[in-house]
């Protein structure tokens, strides 16, 4: 809200959040107020300023990065915000050929020409098609078994994980695991989901949704290792 002295009234000035794609670079360096401002936008696809609510234009995507090396002066993301990110992907170093391209692109005196490869309408249409990908009840049960095994490991012959998990995956994990599995099948040009699709996206969906205890951190146990244990224990349909 910006106060206009001439008109003696407040006016709304839309910020960078009113875009299709938001890049939050090193999001854990943003103060808590900035991070909390993303909660409504990421879940409800809207922004409330004062008494007025503005719906964000579709498609809307928040892409955030975190540097795992240096944590001084950072703010840990709250669980409610982490849960709103569909995927957490770990990116390592590029290989030699990729890094050669990075060097050349950064030293090229001519700007890189970027050509559009898809339209907004095509993205929205693809979203609808992904939701129409068939998912059998056995696959749904498989997804639920995986998620519930992170919440109640002792009930799934995973008693050794009970002391390592402080909280399990949320209902958003079930929703996003199902949706990501459909999207993976769509990318593989299939109209139905198979168990391998679920396993392919499971780590990216769950690694930021499972809380580890101090005991797990002391033993250098990672959430990826917990997910591996769960996948090995849950029966595949």
> Tens digit of pLDDT for each residue in 154-212?
888 888 898 999 999 999 999 999 999 999 999 999 999 999 999 999 999 999 999 99
pLDDT at 3: 66
Q: What is the C-alpha to C-alpha distance for residues 38 and 62, in angstroms, rounded to an integer?
A: 9
Note whether residue 78 is domain-resident. Answer: yes
Whether the Cβ atoms of residue 230 and residue 150 lie closer than 8 Å to each other: yes
Q: What is the C-alpha to C-alpha distance for residues 205 and 149, in angstroms, rounded to an integer?
A: 15
Note whether residue 94 is domain-resident. Answer: no
pLDDT at 173: 95
Task: Tell me if residue 206 falls in helix, strand or coil.
Answer: helix
pLDDT at 179: 96
Q: With pLDDT > 70 as the criterion, what percentage of the chain qualifies?
A: 97
Would you place residue 27 in the very low, low, confident or very high pLDDT band (cuts 50, 70, 90)? confident
Note whether residue 218 is domain-resident. Answer: yes
pLDDT at 142 over 80: yes
Note whether residue 220 is domain-resident. Answer: yes
For residues 141-153, give the mean pLDDT: 95
pLDDT at 1 over 70: no
Same domain, residue pair 69 and 161: no
Same domain, residue pair 131 and 79: no
What average pLDDT does the structure give for the chain? 89
pLDDT at 160: 87
Same domain, residue pair 172 and 217: yes
Looking at per-residue confidence, does 133 or 2 come out higher?
Answer: 133
Looking at per-residue confidence, does 199 or 11 come out higher?
Answer: 199
Q: What is the CATH number of the domain that holds 158?
A: 1.10.8.80
pTM: 0.85
Q: What is the CATH number of the domain that holds 58?
A: 3.40.50.300
Same domain, residue pair 128 and 200: yes
Task: Tell me if residue 195 falls in helix, strand or coil.
Answer: helix
Would you place residue 15 in the very low, low, confident or very high pLDDT band (cuts 50, 70, 90)? confident
What is the extent of the structural domain holding 23?
1-85
Q: What is the C-alpha to C-alpha distance for residues 5 and 101, in angstroms, rounded to an integer?
A: 52
Looking at per-residue confidence, does 8 or 154 come out higher?
Answer: 154
- Phi, psi (rounded to 5 degrees) for 10: -90, 140
Count how many domains the chain has: 2
Looking at 85, 103, 135, the residue that finishes a domain is: 85
Note whether residue 131 is domain-resident. Answer: yes
35 token code pair: 């991070």
Same domain, residue pair 4 and 49: yes
For residues 10-35, give the mean pLDDT: 83
pLDDT at 122 over 90: yes
pLDDT tens figures, 36-71: 778 888 888 888 887 788 899 999 999 999 887 776
Q: What is the CA radius of gyration of the chain?
A: 21
Note whether residue 105 is domain-resident. Answer: no
On the 0-12 / 13-18 / 19+ scale of CB atoms within 10 A, 84 is: middle
């Amino acid at each position: 809200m910006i106060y206009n002295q001439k008109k003696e009234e407040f006016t709304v000035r839309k910020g960078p959040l009113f875009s299709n794609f938001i890049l939050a670079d090193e999001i854990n360096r943003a103060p808590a107020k900035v991070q909390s401002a993303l909660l409504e936008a990421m879940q409800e696809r809207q922004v409330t300023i004062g008494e007025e609510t503005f719906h964000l234009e579709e498609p809307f995507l928040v892409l955030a990065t975190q540097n795992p090396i240096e944590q001084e002066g950072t703010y840990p993301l709250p669980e409610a915000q982490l849960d709103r990110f569909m995927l957490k992907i770990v990116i390592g170093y590029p290989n030699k050929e990729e890094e050669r391209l990075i060097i050349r692109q950064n030293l090229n005196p001519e700007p890189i020409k970027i050509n559009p490869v898809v339209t907004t309408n095509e993205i929205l249409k693809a979203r609808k098609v992904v939701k129409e990908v068939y998912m059998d009840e056995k696959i749904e049960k498989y997804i639920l078994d995986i998620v519930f095994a992170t919440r109640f490991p002792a009930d799934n012959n995973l008693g050794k994980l009970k002391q390592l998990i402080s909280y399990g995956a949320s209902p958003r994990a079930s929703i996003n695991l199902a949706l990501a599995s459909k999207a993976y099948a769509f990318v593989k040009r299939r109209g139905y989901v198979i168990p391998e699709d679920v396993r392919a996206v499971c780590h990216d969906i769950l690694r930021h949704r499972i809380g580890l205890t101090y005991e797990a951190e002391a033993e250098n146990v990672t959430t990826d290792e917990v997910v591996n244990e769960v996948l090995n224990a849950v029966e595949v349909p």
